[in-house]
Amino acid sequence: MADLTHDGAGVVKIDGFPVFVKQALPGETIDVKVVKIKKQYGFGKLIKIHVASPERIEPPCPIYNRCGGCSLQHLSYEGQLHEKQKQVMNVMERIGGFTHLTVHPVKGMTDPWRYRNKSQVPVGEEQGRIIAGFYAERSHSIVDMEACLIQHEDQDRIVNLVKELANQHGIRGYDDQKHKGVLRHVVIRRSRISGDVMVVLVTKEQALPHKEQLIQAITGEVPNVTSIMQNINPKRTNVIFGDKTVCLWGEETIKDRIKGIEFVISAKSFYQVNPVQTEVLYEQALNYAALTGSEKVIDAYCGIGTISLFLAQKARHVYGVESVAPAIDDAKRNAKANHIDNVTFAVGEAETLMPWWYSQGLDPDVIVVDPPRKGCETAMLDAMAAMKPERIVYVSCNPATLARDMKYLSEKGYTVKEVQPVDMFPQTTHVEAVTVMYREG
Ligand code: SAH
């Protein structure tokens, strides 16, 4: 057995035919039961391990085999980093067509547990009892949990408390099949710097029975909760948040600090989930941007302006664009609070706003992009290339779309030498990567 798929399954070749086997590791000798066969590949179940990989470890989480949240806990952390590097190399070659590219070893964590500052936990019911936990793999059935070993202990305490209170007061959990019930998700955010916690209760309707008791119990039991919000999502959808958010108690935002800059974060704004590795990632992006103080910079997909404000300290001016309006409100507030005034933030889709900026004559020296998993739209890539910046720094949470977009940009006259993966999501198969592309000639 040689490889892992992008979602962490082992690839076993049976007479050359690839079969994906969950929790099988490269180098192992195993018995597999083939359970499903498709044209190009099949799926198998791991029955017995005859020779285990030296990298195999006992997964510490008691519900690891059922929960779909993590998929690499059975692999040592060193092994995980090695696999992630291979995964990035693989897509760079296969999707990007880059054969002479250096993919550096993944920058990992010293302690790869309890790192998440954010939890988004689905709530439901099982035999009349409230349950809360992540979905089983490729399903919408909730695996009830007491603890999640990649999130902070405060987050466990709050999930358990909300469950207990909902059971006690008869607040119904949401049933996504029947589209019935009250409580859909508990979303928790924690500031690494202050330990302050924001709790967001996502409900199907505005009415939240026993609201006062909930507030009293949560603030009484977990004193570092500084904000309790309610988000109302009446739609039949997988998207967690609805349009409306109200403050039930305390502050409407939570504050955190990265490398000396303070950030105000609203319930719905994007904020990196691994604060330790965020510093490593941003440091790398800043290095690649190689600013001297005179540059005009665009930070596209800027969220609450995190990367923009770091760049602004070393640039002449930074233009940030982001599609979520409250995130841009946060970004503007963050600039002000940190006395940074050489930034301009705009709400809009990068693929629409960038061509417009280009038509207005904006000519950046450096462009930094940090798009969601699907990567950049073609209109965005075209606008970037048309602006002819010296450097494009690309931060990506999906190496496959990164490789695709790099290939496109390389056809537009940009060259690339190296990619630096950063492990933002230990125990899962996700990997972040950052690279810089230079304009030729
Ligand atoms: N750079 C930020 C945010 C990165 S996450 C940080 O490090 O914190 C990607 C961001 O892109 C999210 O804030 C998301 O709301 C935004 N986004 C998604 N699609 C977009 C689009 N088409 N145009 C602009 N922003 C978009």
Asked if the structure places residue 216 within a domain, the reply is: yes
- 3-class SS letters over the chain: CCEECCCCCEEEEECCEEEEECCCCCCCEEEEEEEEECCCCEEEEEEEEEECCCCECCCCCCCCCCECCCCCCCECHHHHHHHHHHHHHHHHHHCCCCCCCEECCCECCCCCCCCECEEEEEEEEECCEEEECCEECCCCCECCCCCCCCECHHHHHHHHHHHHHHHHHCCCECECCCCECCEEEEEEEECCCCCCEEEEEEECCCCCCCHHHHHHHHHHHCCCEEEEEEEECCCCCCCCCCCEEEEEEECCEEEEEECCEEEEEECCCCCCCCHHHHHHHHHHHHHHHCCCCCCEEEEECCCCCHHHHHHHCCCCEEEEEECCHHHHHHHHHHHHHCCCCCEEEEECCHHHHHHHHHHCCCCCCEEEECCCCCCCCHHHHHHHHHHCCCEEEEEECCHHHHHHHHHHHHHCCEEEEEEEEECCCCCCCCCEEEEEEEECC
Indicate the annotated binding residues: 272, 301, 322, 370
Read off the pLDDT of residues 334-347 as tens digits, 9 standing for 90 and up.
999 999 999 999 99
Q: What is the pLDDT of residue 2?
A: 57
- What is the pTM for the complete model shown? 0.94
Specify the number of domains making up the chain: 3
Please give all residues whose beta carbon lies within 6 A of any atom in ligand 1, as ranges. 270-272, 301-303, 306-307, 321-324, 327, 349-351, 370, 372
Which residues are identified as catalytic? 397
pLDDT digits (tens, 9 = 90+) for 276-315: 999 999 999 999 999 999 999 999 999 999 999 999 999 9
Same domain, residue pair 248 and 313: no
Mutating to test ligand 1, I would choose from 278, 279, 284, 322 the residue with most ligand atoms within 8 A of its C-beta, which is 322
Looking at the fold, whether 205 and 343 belong to one and the same domain comes out as: no
Residue 131 lies in a domain: yes
pLDDT tens, position by position, 367-390: 999 999 999 999 999 999 999 999
How many A from CA of 328 to the centre of ligand 1? 10
* Same domain as 432, residue 284: yes
Distance 400 CA to ligand 1 centre (A): 18
Same domain? 246 vs 279: no
* Residue 173, domain extent: 118-258
